[in-house]
Each structure stands twice: as structure tokens, then as C-alpha cells.
Amino acid sequence: MNTRNKVAHGFGRLSVNVTLGILVIMWLLPTFMLVVSSFRPVGDMMSSGWWSAFMHPERFTLGNYQLVLTSKGIGTSFINSLIITIPSTILPILLGALAAFPLAFSKFPGRKGFFITLIAMQIVPLQVVLIPVLLLLMGLNLNGTFPGVWLTHTAFGLPLCIYIFRNFFAQMPYSLIEAARIDGANNLQIFFRLLVPMAKPAFASMAIFQFLWVWNDMLVALFVLNNSALNPVTVKLSSLLGSLDAGWEIMTPAALLSMLLPVTIFLLFQKYYVRGILAGSVKG
């Protein structure tokens, strides 16, 4: 790091700071705009820019937030998002880790084929599979229900989860597992007592990855849920904006609140999230 820092000095260092500063402001500005606007009365929002709000700090209000949680079913959509996201995060991680164990440690026939399928399925665009998935769920009477969405997200999340866990397990010292076997531990014991505690970083990465992905998802919700009473906050925001059904006094705090949870989780566990990204793939 220090050597790298030495590369820029004097005038170079100043221009680097200024350029990066401008870029950072550009990236921060839209979110900052949203934060400021969400605390302004709607009359002000429609007549003057958010930057002029600081001239009348006494006009800032919490009124928009009181309004948003009680109107247009936005409060419900937040609860829906949670109901959708929590099982859709836990299930693929659990089933993925379970499947990754034999994939990492046993040489069973069909292993290679399964692995290639996993890689291929990470890249298949969801648009390609969503209609047959919808038809399948219709056949099971699960379309437009939470369990239907849980199953869909679990299935879509599995290839990446298995892939990441398998790679993580495969890096673990095999001698440790051998030793546990000699001590008489069975596979289940090895999995739960040895691997799960050691693979905590991988679990953290995948949990954050999957949580953010499902929380921010709109496509799966639109295709297989498509039920206005159960819609998550992404679909709600989108339909409010599309129909111009709600004013900016509702849109701005609703958008900000929808960002609060993922951004907080992201900032708290950034290390694990980045590790998940670096581990290789991005899902379709």
C-alpha cells in the first residue's frame, strides 16, 4: 500500500484527490437528494430543489414517514419483503451447504456433470425459466403464494451457494476430516461439528449475498407471485411510480426505507459481501 501511495505525489496527489472527490460526490448526490427530500413537505418538494431546503431548516418534517407506513399498503409490502426474504435466504444456504459436502469430499459418479450443470445454471437468465416455473407452481397450486416464491428463490440461489461452499470446503485441510473419521465421527457429525463452524465466513458471505439479492428482487416477484396483497416493497415502489398513484411525499420516504435494511447490512458486513463477489460468480 505504502509503495503504491508514493506513486502519486505533489500535483499528482492533488489531482487524484480532486478527481476521486468529484466522482464520489457524483455517486453520493442522488442518495443524498433522496434523504433530504424525504424530510421535506410535499409543497416544498414540488416548488423548489432539495438544496434550498437548508435555507429553511425549520421546515424539515417527519410527516412523510408517518404517512408512508400507513398508506397505500406500503407498510404491508415491507412485511411481505421480510416474509419472502428470510426463508429464501436460509433455505438455499442450508441445502447448498448440505449438497456441497459430498461434492467436495466424495468421488461419486456423475460428480463432474453435476458440477458443470451448476456452473451453467448460474448463468441462465431467469427470464428463460420463469414461465415454466410459473406453470409448475400453478400445477402445485403454489403460484401467488409465499411458499411458491420461497421455492423459486431457493432453487435459483442454490447453484451459486453450492459452488461457493464446495470451493470453501475443498480448501479445508483434508487431514482434519480424516482424523475425525478415525475418531469415529460420521458424515453428519463432521458436517455440523467441524465444517459448519469452520465455514462461518462462507455462510456469512452467502447469507448477505442471498439476502440482498432476494430483498432487491423484482423479477421473480412479478412472475411467480403477481399477487398485489403479497407484493414485496420493490414491486410496490415500481407500481406506485408507474401509476403515479402516490405523491413524492410517499415515494421518497418509501424508497429510502426500502434501502435502509440492505444498505445497513451491506455496510456492516461489507467484508463478507465483497468476499462473496470475489469468490467468482454472479447469479442470473
Partner 1 sequence: MTRHKRTGDLKPMTRKRTGGLKSKHLYAYLWMAPAIILIFFFLVLPTFQTVKLSLYEKISFSEREARELLQSELQNIKGAEVSLSDRIHEISGWEQAVARIEDQYGVAVAYEDVGANMTVKQTAELLTLTVNQALRQESSGVGPQRFVGLKNYMRMVDDPEMKVALRNNLYWLALFTTLTIIAGMVIAVLSDKVRWGKLAKTIIFVPMAISGAAGGVIWYFMYQKDVNTGTINAIIHLFNPQFEGIAFLGEANLVTFALIAVGVWMQVGFCTVLFSAALQSVPVELIEMACIEGANSFQIFFRIELPYIWSTVVLVITQMIMWVLKVFDIVFTMTHGGPYGASEVIANRIYRTDFNLGDFNYGSAMAVVLFIAIIPVLILNIRNLSREESIRE
CB 40 within 8 A of CB 50: yes
Q: Using the rule CB under 8 A, which residue among 74, 212, 225, 230 binds partner 1?
A: 212
C-alpha dihedral, 233 to 223 to 126 to 76, nearest 10°: 20
How far apart are CB 277 and partner 1 at their closest, in Å? 6
- State yes or no: residue 6 binds partner 1 (CB under 8 A): yes
How far apart are CB 74 and partner 1 at their closest, in Å? 12
Cell 414540488: give the residue.
46
Nearest CB to partner 1, comparing residues 16 and 229: 16
Residues between 224 and 263 with contacts to partner 1, criterion CB under 8 A: 226, 233-235, 237-238, 241-242, 248, 251-252, 254-256, 258-259, 262-263
Helices (DSSP H) in 55-145: which residue ranges? 63-68, 74-105, 111-123, 126-139
Question: Which amino acid belongs to residue 239?
Answer: S
How far apart are CB 58 and partner 1 at their closest, in Å? 20
Region of 59-67, 172-180, 194-202, 215-223 interacting with partner 1 (CB under 8 A) = 215-223
Q: Site for partner 1 (CB under 8 A): how many residues?
A: 113
Nearest CB to partner 1, comparing residues 63 and 262: 262
Distance of alpha carbon 173 from the chain centroid: 31
Nearest CB to partner 1, comparing residues 198 and 265: 265
Q: Using the rule CB under 8 A, which residue among 118, 160, 202, 225 binds partner 1?
A: 118
Residues between 34 and 63 with contacts to partner 1, criterion CB under 8 A: 34, 37, 45-51
CB 44 within 8 A of CB 59: yes
Residues between 170 and 199 with contacts to partner 1, criterion CB under 8 A: 170, 186-188
Whole-number Å distance between alpha carbons of 159 and 269? 22
Question: Cell digits for 95?
Answer: 441445502
Whole-number Å distance between alpha carbons of 80 and 265? 18
